[in-house]
C-alpha cells in the first residue's frame, strides 16, 4: 500500500473518526462528502462508539498473501452502539468462542505488514468483553 | 426502442486452459458465435472482463479483441462490473441495438485466472478495499458471513447449502463445456476442506479460464434468419453498497431484487412466468439468497426449496441447468454471457441430456461482489 493511501485513512483507522449529518443525523463511517440518505453536505465530526455486538462472523482459513501467516483468524461484522456497522477481526480468543450477539470492544492493533514498501499498517480489531 | 434478439452464441469449454491465451479464448468463443449467427459483419462490440489487469497485466481489452478478431476499426469497449461485467456488457449491447445505433452487436465475456496471479487478492478487489479487504476478509469470508446470518435468522441448514452444490454438479456432469463433469454428495460438500466457516471448498465456485459470446441483432434482421427467434424481453440492473456491513440486512441482496423487478416490469411478466433460470451461484448461499430475491420462493425458504428438489432439472423451476458457476466454472468476466448461452441453448431445445421440458421463458441473473451490482435478463422463444 503506497504511503499516501495509508496516511489518508489514519483518522478512521486510529481514532475511529466519523461524521454525523447535520440534517438527518445519520452517522457515516468512513466520512463521505454527501449523505446517501438525505443528500445533505454539511457534517459534524464525531468519534464512533468503540463497543458493540457481533452480527455475523466467519473464520478465514485461506487468506490473501498479507494475512497468510495469521490463519486461521476470525472476522466479524460488528454493530457498534451508535448503530454503525464495521468489518473487523476478532482477536484474543479462540474461533469457537465467537457467537452472534456476543459483545465486543474495539482495540488498536497491528493489521498487516506490507512486504514491498515496509509500511506496518495499524487499525482496529475487536476483542470479546 | 427496437426489439432485440440473440441470433448466435458460442463459448469455450471452461476450466484450466493452460495452453490457451486470454485473447485466443475470446476469439475462439467469438468465432463460434459468429458462425452460429451466420453474420458477415459486426457493427460494434462490448467485452466484459473483471480484472484482466490484475490477472494478466492487460487492460485496453476492447481494442485488443477487435484487433485479434479481425473486426477493427469497429467501436469496441470493455465493460467492468466485477463478476457481472459481461452481464452488464450485454445490457450495453442490448441498448446499442434497441436504440437503432447498431444492427448487429457482438457481446462477449472473458477471463484468464490461471496464469499465476494472486487470485484471492484480485477477486477481493470487488469488495471495499479500505474497509473490508484491509481487515483481512476474503470473498469466501464475506459469503460465509451471509451464510451464517441466513442460518441464524431463517434456520437454513448446512445440508441445504450442500444441496445447491450437489444439484449443480449433477447438471454440470451433463454439460460438455463444464469444468467439473462429475457428481458430488452432500457428505462430500460438508466434509470438504473449510475455506471460511461454514463454507467449504465444495460450496465455492472454482478458479477458471473461459470465454462466451453472443450476437445481438434487431428483430427485423433476426426474422430473416431461419432460426428460432430468441428475444430479449427485459433487462434490469441495480447497485448497492460495496461493503456488506453497510447493508440494512446482511441476508438481503437488494440489488438482485431491484434488478429483477425492473427486468420483470420491462418484460411484462411475473416470477411465476419464468420456466428456468441461470443464477450467480458463486457460493452455495448465493443461490439460496437469489432464489428468494428473484421471487421464486419466499424470503428465508430458499434452502428448503432447493433441498426439496424444486430447482432440479425436473423441478418446478430448474435453476442452473448448465451446472452453474459451481460446476460449469466461473471465469468471472465470462460468466454473465455463459449464463445467456445456456438460456439460449435451452430455448432452442438444444441442451442435450440436460434439456428441460417446455422451455419458453428463461432468466439470467449475474452479480458483482457480494451483490453490490446485479443484472437480470429475460429471454423468450417467440416462435410459437
pLDDT by residue, tens only, chain B of 384 residues = 999 999 999 999 999 999 999 999 999 999 999 999 999 999 999 999 999 999 999 999 999 999 999 999 999 999 999 999 999 999 999 999 999 999 999 999 999 999 988 898 899 999 999 999 999 999 999 999 999 999 999 999 999 999 999 999 999 999 999 999 999 999 999 999 999 999 999 999 999 999 999 999 999 999 999 889 999 999 999 999 999 999 999 999 999 999 999 999 999 999 999 999 999 999 999 999 999 999 999 999 999 999 999 999 999 999 999 999 999 999 999 999 999 999 999 999 999 999 999 999 999 999 999 999 999 999 999 985
Same domain, B18 and B33: yes
Which residue in the set B120, B198, B244 is minimally distant from A77, CB to CB?
B244
What pLDDT is stored for residue A3 in this prediction? 79
Biggest distance spanned by C-alpha atoms of chain A: 45
Same domain, B86 and B177: no
Same domain, B345 and B298: yes
Residues of chain A with Cβ-Cβ distance to B124 below 8 Å are 64
For every residue of A24-71, DSSP letters joined together read T--EESS--SS-TTT----EEEEE--SEEEEEEEEEESS--GGGGGG-
What pLDDT is stored for residue B116 in this prediction? 87
**Cβ pairs bridging A and B (under 8 Å):** 95
Enter the C-alpha cell of residue B212.
462466451
How many CB atoms are located within 10 Å of the residue B191 CB?
12
Domain assignment of residue B171, yes or no: yes
Same domain, B100 and B139: no
Whether the pLDDT of residue A4 is over 90: the answer is no
pTM for this entry: 0.97
What pLDDT is stored for residue B384 in this prediction? 59
B322 in helix, strand or coil?
coil
Domain assignment of residue B46, yes or no: yes
Torsion of CA A38, A43, A44, A48, to 10 degrees: 60
Q: How confident is the model at residue A66 (pLDDT cuts 50, 70, 90)?
A: confident
Q: Which domain holds residue B217?
A: 4-118+207-224
Distance from C-alpha of A18 to C-alpha of A15, rounded to nearest angstrom: 9
Report yes or no: B137 and B125 within 8 Å, Cβ to Cβ: no
A65 touches chain B (CB under 8 A): yes
Q: How far is CA B192 from CA A94, B129, B195, B198, B329, in A?
A: 22, 29, 9, 11, 18
- Nearest chain B residue to A109 by CA distance is B135
Q: How far is A125 from chain B (nearest CA, A)?
A: 8
Average pLDDT over residues A19-27: 98
Cis before B358 (ω within 30) = no
Same domain, B109 and B141: no
Which residue in the set B124, B134, B149 is minimally distant from A56, CB to CB?
B149
Which residue in the set B118, B137, B144 is minimally distant from A87, CB to CB?
B137
A95 touches chain B (CB under 8 A): yes
Contact B148 A70 (CB under 8 A): no
What pLDDT is stored for residue B226 in this prediction? 86
Beta bridge partners, A90, equal A74, A126
Q: How many domains does chain B have?
A: 2
Domain assignment of residue B151, yes or no: yes
Domain assignment of residue B181, yes or no: yes
A112 touches chain B (CB under 8 A): yes
Residues of chain B with Cβ-Cβ distance to A53 below 8 Å are none
Same domain, B284 and B153: yes
What pLDDT is stored for residue A115 in this prediction? 64
Same domain, B106 and B139: no
Same domain, B253 and B369: yes
Domain assignment of residue B173, yes or no: yes
Distance from C-alpha of B221 to C-alpha of B281, rounded to nearest angstrom: 34
Same domain, B149 and B99: no
What pLDDT is stored for residue B335 in this prediction? 98
- Nearest chain A residue to B144 by CA distance is A58
Same domain, B163 and B288: yes
Report yes or no: B64 and B43 within 8 Å, Cβ to Cβ: no
A68 touches chain B (CB under 8 A): no
Distance from C-alpha of B282 to C-alpha of B205, rounded to nearest angstrom: 5
Same domain, B41 and B151: no
Active site residues of B: 83, 330
B135 in helix, strand or coil?
helix
Query: How many whole angstroms from its chain centre is CA B245?
Result: 24
Biggest distance spanned by C-alpha atoms of chain B: 56
The contacts of residue B245 (CB under 8 Å, 6+ apart) are: A55, A77, A85, A86, A87, B131, B132
> Residues A44, A49, A50, A53: is their CA dihedral positive or negative?
negative
Whether the pLDDT of residue A104 is over 80: the answer is yes
Residues of chain B with Cβ-Cβ distance to A58 below 8 Å are 141, 144-145, 148, 196-199
Sheet harboring B104-112: ordered strands across?
B76-79, B44-48, B104-112, B209-218, B4-11, B230-239, B373-381, B361-368, B276-278
What pLDDT is stored for residue B329 in this prediction? 98
Residues of chain A with Cβ-Cβ distance to B135 below 8 Å are 75, 87-89, 111, 123, 125
Q: How confident is the model at residue A1 (pLDDT cuts 50, 70, 90)?
A: low
Distance from C-alpha of B313 to C-alpha of B317, rounded to nearest angstrom: 8
Domain assignment of residue B382, yes or no: no
Whether the pLDDT of residue A2 is over 70: the answer is no
The residue ranking higher by pLDDT, A100 or A3, is: A100
Distance from C-alpha of B338 to C-alpha of B357, rounded to nearest angstrom: 21
Contact A59 B194 (CB under 8 A): yes
- Predicted ipTM of the assembly: 0.97
B58 in helix, strand or coil?
coil
Domain assignment of residue B301, yes or no: yes
Contact A86 B144 (CB under 8 A): no
Domain assignment of residue B124, yes or no: no
Looking up residue B153, the CATH number of its domain turns out to be 3.40.47.10
Report yes or no: B169 and B327 within 8 Å, Cβ to Cβ: yes
What pLDDT is stored for residue A102 in this prediction? 98
Same domain, B185 and B213: no
Residues of chain B with Cβ-Cβ distance to A121 below 8 Å are 134
Distance from C-alpha of A125 to C-alpha of A87, rounded to nearest angstrom: 9
Which residue in the set A75, A85, A100 is minimally distant from B136, CB to CB?
A75
Amino acid at each position: 500500500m503506497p504511503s499516501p493511501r495509508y496516511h489518508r485513512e489514519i483518522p478512521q483507522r486510529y481514532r475511529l473518526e466519523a461524521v454525523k449529518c447535520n440534517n438527518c443525523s445519520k452517522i457515516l463511517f468512513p466520512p463521505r462528502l454527501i449523505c446517501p440518505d438525505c443528500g445533505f453536505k454539511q457534517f459534524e465530526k464525531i468519534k464512533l462508539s468503540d463497543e458493540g455486538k457481533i452480527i455475523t462472523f466467519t473464520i478465514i482459513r485461506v487468506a490473501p498473501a498479507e494475512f497468510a501467516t495469521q490463519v486461521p483468524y476470525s472476522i466479524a461484522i460488528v454493530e457498534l452502539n451508535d448503530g454503525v456497522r464495521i468489518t473487523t477481526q476478532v482477536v484474543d480468543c479462540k474461533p469457537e468462542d465467537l457467537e452472534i450477539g456476543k459483545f465486543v470492544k474495539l482495540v488498536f492493533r497491528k493489521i498487516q505488514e506490507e512486504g514491498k514498501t515496509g509500511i506496518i499498517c495499524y487499525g482496529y480489531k475487536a476483542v470479546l468483553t | 426502442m427496437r426489439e432485440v434478439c440473440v441470433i448466435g452464441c458460442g463459448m469455450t469449454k471452461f476450466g484450466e486452459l493452460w495452453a490457451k491465451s486470454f485473447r485466443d479464448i475470446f476469439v475462439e468463443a467469438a468465432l463460434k458465435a459468429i458462425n452460429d449467427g451466420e453474420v458477415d459483419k459486426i457493427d460494434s462490440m462490448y467485452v466484459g472482463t473483471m480484472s484482466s489487469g490484475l490477472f494478466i497485466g492487460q487492460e485496453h481489452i476492447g481494442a485488443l479483441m477487435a484487433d485479434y478478431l479481425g473486426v477493427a476499426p469497429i467501436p469496441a469497449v470493455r465493460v467492468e462490473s466485477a463478476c457481472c461485467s459481461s452481464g452488464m456488457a450485454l445490457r450495453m449491447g442490448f441498448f446499442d441495438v434497441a436504440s437503432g445505433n447498431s444492427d448487429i452487436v457482438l457481446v462477449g465475456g472473458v477471463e484468464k485466472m490461471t496464469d499465476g496471479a494472486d487470485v484471492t487478492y484480485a477477486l477481493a478487489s470487488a469488495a471495499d478495499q479500505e474497509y473490508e479487504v484491509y481487515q483481512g476478509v476474503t470473498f469466501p469470508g464475506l459469503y460465509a458471513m451471509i451464510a451464517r446470518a441466513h442460518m441464524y435468522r431463517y434456520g437454513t441448514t448446512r445440508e441445504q447449502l450442500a444441496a445447491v452444490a450437489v444439484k449443480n454438479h449433477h447438471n454440470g456432469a451433463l454439460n460438455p463445456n463444464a469444468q467439473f463433469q462429475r457428481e458430488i454428495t452432500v457428505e462430500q460438500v460438508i466434509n470438504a476442506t473449510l475455506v471460511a466457516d461454514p463454507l467449504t471448498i465444495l460450496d465455492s465456485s472454482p478458479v477458471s479460464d473461459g470465454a462466451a459470446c453472443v450476437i445481438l441483432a434487431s428483430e427485423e434482421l433476426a426474422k430473416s434468419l431461419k432460426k428460432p427467434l430468441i428475444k430479449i424481453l427485459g433487462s434490469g440492473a441495480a447497485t448497492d453498497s460495496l461493503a456488506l456491513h453497510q447493508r440494512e440486512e446482511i441476508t438481503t441482496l437488494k440489488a438482485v431484487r431491484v434488478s429483477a423487478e425492473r427486468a420483470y416490469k420491462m418484460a411484462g411478466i411475473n416470477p411465476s412466468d419464468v420456466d428456468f433460470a441461470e443464477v450467480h451461484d458463486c457460493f452455495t448461499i448465493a443461490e439460496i439468497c437469489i432464489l428468494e430475491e428473484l421471487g421464486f420462493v419466499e424470503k428465508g425458504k430458499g434452502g428448503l426449496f432447493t433441498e426439496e428438489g424444486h430447482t432440479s432439472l425436473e423441478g418446478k423451476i430448474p435453476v442452473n441447468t448448465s451446472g452453474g458457476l459451481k460446476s460449469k466454472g466461473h471465469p468471472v468476466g465470462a460468466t454473465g454471457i455463459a449464463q445467456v448461452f445456456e438460456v439460449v441453448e435451452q430455448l432452442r431445445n438444444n441442451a442435450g441430456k440436460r434439456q428441460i421440458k417446455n422451455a419458453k421463458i428463461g432468466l439470467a441473473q449475474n452479480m458483482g461482489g457480494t451483490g453490490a451490482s446485479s443484472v437480470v435478463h429475460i429471454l423468450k422463444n417467440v416462435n410459437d
